[in-house]
Copies of this chain bind each other. A is one copy, B any other.
Protein backbone atom coordinates (compact mmCIF):
# COMPACT_ATOMS: atom_id res chain seq x y z
CA UNK A 1 0.00 0.00 0.00
CA UNK A 2 1.51 3.39 -1.00
CA UNK A 3 2.24 5.72 1.91
CA UNK A 4 1.71 9.48 1.99
CA UNK A 5 3.38 11.60 4.64
CA UNK A 6 1.08 14.32 5.93
CA UNK A 7 3.10 17.12 7.52
CA UNK A 8 0.92 19.44 9.52
CA UNK A 9 0.92 22.30 12.02
CA UNK A 10 -2.00 22.47 14.47
CA UNK A 11 -2.25 26.27 14.39
CA UNK A 12 -2.63 26.48 10.61
CA UNK A 13 -6.04 27.41 9.23
CA UNK A 14 -5.72 25.76 5.82
CA UNK A 15 -4.45 22.59 7.50
CA UNK A 16 -7.88 22.18 9.10
CA UNK A 17 -9.29 21.53 5.61
CA UNK A 18 -6.92 18.63 4.99
CA UNK A 19 -7.07 17.15 8.48
CA UNK A 20 -10.81 16.75 8.07
CA UNK A 21 -10.67 14.85 4.78
CA UNK A 22 -7.27 13.25 4.20
CA UNK A 23 -8.01 9.92 5.82
CA UNK A 24 -11.26 9.39 3.89
CA UNK A 25 -9.65 10.34 0.58
CA UNK A 26 -6.60 8.19 1.21
CA UNK A 27 -8.64 5.17 2.30
CA UNK A 28 -10.79 5.39 -0.84
CA UNK A 29 -7.59 5.49 -2.89
CA UNK A 30 -5.93 2.65 -1.00
CA UNK A 31 -3.18 4.81 0.47
CA UNK A 32 -1.83 4.88 4.02
CA UNK A 33 -1.53 8.31 5.66
CA UNK A 34 1.43 8.86 7.98
CA UNK A 35 0.63 11.71 10.37
CA UNK A 36 3.66 13.96 10.80
CA UNK A 37 3.00 16.86 13.20
CA UNK A 38 5.65 19.59 13.23
CA UNK A 39 6.00 23.23 14.21
CA UNK A 40 6.05 26.09 11.70
CA UNK A 41 7.46 28.61 14.17
CA UNK A 42 11.11 27.78 13.40
CA UNK A 43 10.43 28.31 9.67
CA UNK A 44 8.89 31.71 10.30
CA UNK A 45 11.85 32.69 12.48
CA UNK A 46 14.26 31.61 9.73
CA UNK A 47 12.45 34.07 7.42
CA UNK A 48 12.94 36.84 9.94
CA UNK A 49 9.22 36.84 10.81
CA UNK A 50 8.00 37.09 14.36
CA UNK A 51 4.60 35.53 13.63
CA UNK A 52 2.45 33.92 10.91
CA UNK A 53 2.73 35.44 7.41
CA UNK A 54 -1.03 36.01 7.67
CA UNK A 55 -0.27 38.49 10.44
CA UNK A 56 2.83 39.89 8.73
CA UNK A 57 0.82 40.61 5.55
CA UNK A 58 -2.47 42.27 6.45
CA UNK A 59 -4.19 41.91 3.04
CA UNK A 60 -3.20 38.28 2.75
CA UNK A 61 -4.46 37.60 6.26
CA UNK A 62 -7.81 39.25 5.52
CA UNK A 63 -8.15 37.26 2.32
CA UNK A 64 -7.27 33.98 4.03
CA UNK A 65 -10.13 34.40 6.50
CA UNK A 66 -12.65 35.03 3.71
CA UNK A 67 -11.26 32.15 1.66
CA UNK A 68 -11.56 29.82 4.67
CA UNK A 69 -15.13 31.02 5.34
CA UNK A 70 -16.16 30.23 1.77
CA UNK A 71 -14.48 26.82 1.63
CA UNK A 72 -15.70 25.74 5.08
CA UNK A 73 -19.24 26.79 4.19
CA UNK A 74 -19.07 24.72 1.01
CA UNK A 75 -17.77 21.70 2.94
CA UNK A 76 -20.12 22.00 5.88
CA UNK A 77 -17.36 22.84 8.39
CA UNK A 78 -17.60 25.39 11.20
CA UNK A 79 -15.10 28.19 10.97
CA UNK A 80 -14.29 30.66 13.71
CA UNK A 81 -10.97 32.45 13.52
CA UNK A 82 -8.89 31.46 16.58
CA UNK A 83 -8.06 34.29 18.95
CA UNK A 84 -5.20 34.80 19.44
CA UNK A 85 -3.92 33.63 16.08
CA UNK A 86 -1.77 31.65 15.66
CA UNK A 87 -2.42 29.47 18.70
CA UNK A 88 0.39 27.82 20.69
CA UNK A 89 0.47 24.38 19.06
CA UNK A 90 3.36 22.80 20.92
CA UNK A 91 1.36 20.53 23.24
CA UNK A 92 -1.07 19.34 20.58
CA UNK A 93 1.85 18.53 18.27
CA UNK A 94 3.64 16.51 20.96
CA UNK A 95 0.47 14.56 21.70
CA UNK A 96 -0.09 13.86 18.00
CA UNK A 97 3.47 12.59 17.76
CA UNK A 98 2.60 9.91 20.32
CA UNK A 99 -0.69 9.37 18.52
CA UNK A 100 1.14 8.69 15.26
CA UNK A 101 3.03 5.84 16.99
CA UNK A 102 -0.09 4.47 18.60
CA UNK A 103 -2.57 4.85 15.76
CA UNK A 104 -4.82 7.59 17.10
CA UNK A 105 -3.26 10.73 15.55
CA UNK A 106 -6.05 11.04 12.99
CA UNK A 107 -8.91 10.83 15.48
CA UNK A 108 -7.17 13.17 17.91
CA UNK A 109 -6.24 15.70 15.24
CA UNK A 110 -9.73 15.83 13.74
CA UNK A 111 -11.23 16.47 17.15
CA UNK A 112 -8.68 19.13 18.16
CA UNK A 113 -8.99 20.97 14.83
CA UNK A 114 -12.78 20.80 15.00
CA UNK A 115 -12.79 22.21 18.52
CA UNK A 116 -10.22 24.87 17.66
CA UNK A 117 -12.15 26.13 14.65
CA UNK A 118 -15.49 25.95 16.37
CA UNK A 119 -13.99 28.44 18.82
CA UNK A 120 -14.35 26.00 21.71
CA UNK A 121 -10.76 25.54 22.87
CA UNK A 122 -7.39 27.23 23.10
CA UNK A 123 -4.55 24.99 21.97
CA UNK A 124 -2.37 26.07 24.88
CA UNK A 125 -5.01 24.78 27.31
CA UNK A 126 -3.80 21.35 28.40
CA UNK A 127 -7.04 20.65 30.25
CA UNK A 128 -8.98 21.14 27.02
CA UNK A 129 -6.53 18.87 25.18
CA UNK A 130 -7.00 16.32 27.94
CA UNK A 131 -10.76 16.45 27.39
CA UNK A 132 -10.16 15.70 23.70
CA UNK A 133 -7.95 12.74 24.63
CA UNK A 134 -10.57 11.38 27.02
CA UNK A 135 -13.31 11.84 24.43
CA UNK A 136 -11.55 9.37 22.15
CA UNK A 137 -10.97 6.91 24.98
CA UNK A 138 -7.38 7.70 25.93
CA UNK A 139 -5.69 8.21 29.30
CA UNK A 140 -5.39 11.99 29.36
CA UNK A 141 -3.30 12.36 32.53
CA UNK A 142 -0.71 9.84 31.48
CA UNK A 143 -0.32 11.39 28.01
CA UNK A 144 -0.14 14.97 29.34
CA UNK A 145 2.67 13.82 31.64
CA UNK A 146 4.52 12.12 28.81
CA UNK A 147 4.64 15.24 26.65
CA UNK A 148 6.71 16.94 29.36
CA UNK A 149 9.44 14.30 29.13
CA UNK A 150 12.73 15.19 27.41
CA UNK A 151 12.25 12.27 25.03
CA UNK A 152 9.00 13.60 23.52
CA UNK A 153 10.19 17.22 23.49
CA UNK A 154 13.32 16.13 21.65
CA UNK A 155 11.39 14.00 19.18
CA UNK A 156 9.21 16.94 18.12
CA UNK A 157 12.32 19.08 17.65
CA UNK A 158 13.84 16.36 15.50
CA UNK A 159 10.67 15.95 13.46
CA UNK A 160 10.61 19.71 12.85
CA UNK A 161 14.26 19.54 11.76
CA UNK A 162 13.33 16.70 9.41
CA UNK A 163 10.63 18.88 7.87
CA UNK A 164 13.15 21.66 7.33
CA UNK A 165 15.58 19.19 5.74
CA UNK A 166 12.85 18.06 3.33
CA UNK A 167 12.43 21.65 2.11
CA UNK A 168 9.03 22.20 3.71
CA UNK A 169 7.94 25.80 4.30
CA UNK A 170 4.24 25.58 5.06
CA UNK A 171 1.35 23.43 6.20
CA UNK A 172 -0.29 21.24 5.09
CA UNK A 173 2.40 19.53 3.02
CA UNK A 174 2.05 16.06 1.51
CA UNK A 175 5.19 14.12 0.68
CA UNK A 176 4.99 11.03 -1.51
CA UNK A 177 7.22 7.97 -1.12
CA UNK A 178 9.35 9.09 -4.07
CA UNK A 179 9.95 12.45 -2.39
CA UNK A 180 7.53 14.76 -4.24
CA UNK A 181 6.28 17.70 -2.16
CA UNK A 182 2.72 18.99 -2.51
CA UNK A 183 1.84 22.08 -0.52
CA UNK A 184 -1.64 23.16 0.48
CA UNK A 185 -5.07 21.57 0.75
CA UNK A 186 -5.50 22.41 -2.95
CA UNK A 187 -2.84 19.81 -3.77
CA UNK A 188 -4.18 16.92 -1.68
CA UNK A 189 -5.89 15.18 -4.60
CA UNK A 190 -2.81 15.66 -6.76
CA UNK A 191 -0.55 14.10 -4.11
CA UNK A 192 -2.84 11.08 -3.97
CA UNK A 193 -2.92 10.70 -7.76
CA UNK A 194 0.85 10.99 -7.85
CA UNK A 195 1.21 8.26 -5.21
CA UNK A 196 -1.10 5.93 -7.15
CA UNK A 197 0.68 6.52 -10.45
CA UNK A 198 4.07 5.80 -8.92
CA UNK A 199 2.76 2.69 -7.21
CA UNK A 200 1.39 1.28 -10.47
CA UNK A 201 4.43 2.11 -12.59
B-contacting residues of A (Cβ < 8 Å)?
A: 47, 56-57, 59-60, 62-63, 66-67, 70, 167-170, 180-184, 186-187, 190
Contact = CB atoms under 8 A, between A and B. Distances in A.
A66 to B, nearest CB: 7
Contact of A169 (B57, B184, B190): B57
B186 A60 contact: no
A70 B190 CA distance: 10
In the complex, the count of this chain's copies comes to: 2
A60 B170 CA distance: 9
Nearest to A185: B186
Given A67-B182, A70-B190, A184-B186, 16 more contacts: A47-B56, A47-B57, A57-B169, A59-B167, A59-B168, A59-B169, A60-B170, A62-B167, A63-B167, A63-B181, A63-B183, A66-B180, A66-B181, A67-B183, A67-B187, A186-B186
Contacts of A67: 182-183, 187
A167 B67 CA distance: 13
Nearest to A56: B47
A26 to B, nearest CB: 20
A4 to B, nearest CB: 16
A5 to B, nearest CB: 15
18 contacts: A47-B57, A59-B167, A59-B168, A59-B169, A60-B169, A60-B170, A62-B167, A63-B167, A63-B169, A63-B181, A63-B183, A66-B180, A66-B181, A67-B182, A67-B187, A70-B180, A184-B186, A186-B186
